[in-house]
Amino acid sequence: MSIIRPFRAVRPAVGKAHLIAALPYDVMNSEEAREMVKDNPISFLHVDKSEVDLPIGTDLYDEAVYQKAKENLYDLIKNGHLIQEEKPCLYLYQQVMDGRAQTGLVCCASVEEYERDLIKKHEHTRAAKEADRIKHVDTTSAHTGPIFLTYRNIPEIENKMNELMNEKPVYDFTAEDNVRHVAWIVDKEQDIEFFQNNFTKIPALYIADGHHRAASAVRVGQRRKAANPNHTGNEEYNFFLSVIFPDTQLAIMDYNRILKDMNGLSRDEFIEKVKEKFTIEDCPTDKPFKPSELHTFGMYPACHEWFKLTAKPGTYPEDDPVDSLDVSILQKNLLNPILGIGDPRTDNRIDFVGGIRGLSELEKRVKAGEAIAFAMYPTSIEQLMDIADAGEVMPPKSTWFEPKLRSGLFIHLLD
């Protein structure tokens, strides 16, 4: 079963949502964030990337950064830009991008179910990044960015969402990237009970995106539980902010690779080595090659021509959910043995480009001096769930979700 819980959201006042809502903290650097907020004093980036209000060069992990985040959050509340719901509610949150809509339920998920692996993971977390978010959550005493969860769809839940979306939304705006964001309040007790009862039919939830935010929320909950002699299990720290989408509505984009050099190989030497595990086909010169099926790859070397690679039979185990991923096939049969990329998490000779930027970004980077680019076929939601069910983890940079959940639309206070 899956436990969901309504909460008294802190959310934008009427007419403020389009100004407050911001992209997640980890999709931009500090310089980009400073540019984004320069004409917007109530952007939620003042909370999630509060270094924008401190001197340039401030250490991102300095205590002042976390204290500034807390100050900015509670100033937004004090000045009426953010308001708190009078009673616990659920919410629907719809995003529309390029004509495709996805609608999730905004709620709090259970720390205990995360600990029991009823909320399944598919990525490792990095200690430094996790520690940063722990400090942010603990200092602000708030979950400021939602965790992106998914589940195997139950038609009754989706039908109920569609019914409630006939009502007037509390927010409806289009952001600067042309993604539309619409939200509805679910405040009737019978509707809240409907979702809670139907989610008990769901055996597990899956983290689609936000592993570090989830792990950090759980660590803070564990700490507060240990420090509270009167712990009951109903405290807000036992639950973390989430948006839960049915798997049938989600799409994963390609996550492409760029290499800075050819590991000392000439073009002919490289091609001969690639041919051992892949078939190579020339592509039309007038457009890039975008893979349209599993186990095919686009390759764009410095000669500025596209090639199609197809993994040969026997290069991967078909019954292994991790090793049969295209990112694994490319890593184990080309990037590691031929180009010398042993650990893509740490090797600075490789870079990753989300599919939202298009294949033209790969061409641009190679023409600017990078050695070679690879276009990937996207990992599927089904593959993600299969790996999580098997208790395995994906290779790094396997999934790129779009659109990104906006921070600042729903905040969960722990006090």
Domain residue extents for the chain = 4-251+402-413, 255-377
Residue 295 has pLDDT above 90, yes or no: yes
Q: Which are the contacts of 337, defined by CB distance < 8 A and separation ≥ 6?
A: 273
d(CA 415, CA 413): 6
Helix (H) or strand (E) run with residue 385 in it:
helix 381-389
Calculate the average pLDDT of the chain: 95
Helix 127-140 vs helix 211-227: angle between axes, to the nearest 10 degrees?
Answer: 50
Residue 406 has pLDDT above 80, yes or no: yes
How big is the CA angle at 123 (ends 415 and 292), to the nearest 5 degrees? 125
Predicted confidence band of residue 194 (pLDDT cuts 50, 70, 90): very high
What pLDDT score was predicted for residue 27? 86
The larger pLDDT score, comparing residue 163 to residue 345, is at 163
Q: Do the bridges between strand 119-120 and strand 205-209 make them parallel or antiparallel, or are there none, so unpaired?
A: parallel
Q: Is the dihedral of CA 66, 75, 87, 21 positive or negative?
A: negative
What pLDDT score was predicted for residue 124? 85
What pLDDT score was predicted for residue 65? 98
Q: Which are the contacts of 184, defined by CB distance < 8 A and separation ≥ 6?
A: 91, 92, 164, 165, 167, 168, 169, 170
Q: Which are the contacts of 403, defined by CB distance < 8 A and separation ≥ 6?
A: 95, 97, 102, 177, 179
d(CA 359, CA 243): 30
Lowest-pLDDT choice from 16-20, 160-164, 395-399, 400-404:
395-399
Predicted confidence band of residue 117 (pLDDT cuts 50, 70, 90): very high
Phi, psi of 186 (to 5 degrees): -110, 95
